[in-house]
Amino acid sequence: MYKRIITTGALFVAVCFFFATFSASDILAQGGAKIVVQKIEPKELDKLMKSRESRSLVVAMASWCGPCREELPFLIKLHNKYKDKGLKIVGISLDIDGPEAMQKIADKMKVNFPIYWAREDAVDKYKIYAIPMLYLIKNGKVIEKIPGQQSEASLEKKIRGLLK
């Protein structure tokens, strides 16, 4: 009887530890891994923007930007739909407060594609004059730059064109 109580107690402690360690936002899509907004160095951002590996949609955004937050559910949905067809969506946070500001939004909205935090120099280098700002990248070149919030239908049309 004592053995059963100890085993049940150990199982209870293990389950409690599991749920205390991982919140619901930690167990997300993309293989159950939490998206962590990380700092990206200018050289790495250049490499990302000139990537020939895939067809990419790079989105410049900020946590305080209402249109950026409104567009995120569409991007998440389209990422799920087209990631297996070769689409790579990447977010670039331009928040002054660092990666933590966008991390809160990514957790709340359960973002399932990578988001990086870039310094202000990205604004000048990539001529970001509005947010959200979308960059469609194919064969290592920006083929289209789209300022402002887009509808889901507009985004999907652009993505289908990018994947052709």
Q: Assign domain 35-163 to its CATH superfamily.
A: Glutaredoxin (3.40.30.10)
Q: What is the pLDDT of residues 10-23, one digit of tens each?
A: 333 332 332 232 33
Q: 66-82 and 99-109 helices cross at what angle (nearest 10)?
A: 60
Alpha carbon 61 to chain centroid distance? 10
pLDDT at 1: 53
In angstroms, rounded to a whole number, what is the distance separating the alpha carbons of residues 93 and 60?
Answer: 6
pTM for the full predicted model: 0.77
Q: What is the pLDDT of residues 66-95, one digit of tens each?
A: 999 999 999 999 999 999 999 999 999 999
pLDDT at 33: 67
For the chain, give every domain's residue range: 1-27, 35-163
Residues of the chain with pLDDT under 50: 2-31
